[in-house]
Amino acid sequence: MVNKISTMKTIQLSATLRSETGKKAAKATRKSELIPAIIYGGQKNIMISIGEKDMKKVVYTPDVFVVKLNVDGENFDTIVKEIQFHPVSDAILHVDFYQVSNDKNITIALPVVLIGQAEGTKQGGKLIQVVRKLKVNGLVKNLPENISIDVTQLELGKSIKVGDLSFKGYTLVDPMSTVIASVKSTRAARETQPTEAAPQQ
């Protein structure tokens, strides 16, 4: 099975350089409705502050973005690598941005989208999506916005695994035995199954 490819979405955000580090400085930054963050993966680490409202556009969505950061007039192409949340309030405490380029492979988790009606559901089975995201590795220019998987041919009692998928331009990082989706038998499906005739005496 081959996925449908469409390039990753991009979003443009502005940020500012920050010179002070440490817990006290970070707390002061958050009071100003800004989030302390870092850009790494390039020639040097860059400490920045980014607006809380802007960051929510990236965090609270199922989409995965290439984040084009404008930092005091200098542009950086990045992806969000890690987000720290407050354990009680779930407020965003810190963000790690990884700088990307067209000649450097990255590993990132992309959302999985199932398309089509599975054959097994026509027999009363239930389509179960086991994983919502899969990790991929490749050049950012080759990465899709999601991994769309056609389940039309998926029969009752069968499953789609990572090893069943093929791609052009990038590879999956998850184990090949990882189950992505399956059609489980239900009572309705079992009732439609032919029963064996009782042996004649």
Q: Indicate which CATH number applies to the domain containing 63.
A: 2.40.240.10
Mean pLDDT of 20-41: 81
pLDDT at 166: 84
Of 37, 71, 100, the residue that ends a domain is 100
Could you tell me the CA-to-CA distances from 121 to 32, 82, 128, 176, 177 in Å, in that order?
52, 38, 10, 25, 23
Shared-domain flag, residues 174 and 118: yes
53 strand-pairing partners: none
For residue 173, which phi and psi values (nearest 5 degrees)? -95, -30
Assessment of whether the complete model's pTM goes beyond 0.75: yes
Shared-domain flag, residues 76 and 139: no
Per-residue pLDDT at 194 exceeds 70: no
* Angstrom distance (rounded) from CA 49 to CA 27: 12
* Angstrom distance (rounded) from CA 61 to CA 152: 27
Read off the pLDDT band of 19 (50, 70, 90): confident
Residue 201, domain member (yes or no): no
Residue 157, token pair as written in the block: 């009692």
Shared-domain flag, residues 31 and 62: yes
List the single range of 2-11, 46-55, 88-97, 132-141 with lowest mean pLDDT.
2-11
List the single range of 29-33, 81-85, 120-124, 165-169 with lowest mean pLDDT.
29-33
Residue 166, token pair as written in the block: 């093929």
Shared-domain flag, residues 73 and 154: no
Of 44, 77, 100, the residue that ends a domain is 100
Per-residue pLDDT at 43 exceeds 80: yes
Q: 158: helix, coil or strand?
A: coil
Of 33, 67, 100, the residue that ends a domain is 100
Instruction: For residue 159, give every residue at least 6 positions away whose Cβ sits within 8 Å of its Cβ, in sequence order, or none.
Output: 179, 180, 181, 182, 183
Range of the domain at 29: 9-100
* Angstrom distance (rounded) from CA 117 to CA 94: 41
Q: Indicate which CATH number applies to the domain containing 176.
A: 2.170.120.20
pLDDT at 90: 86
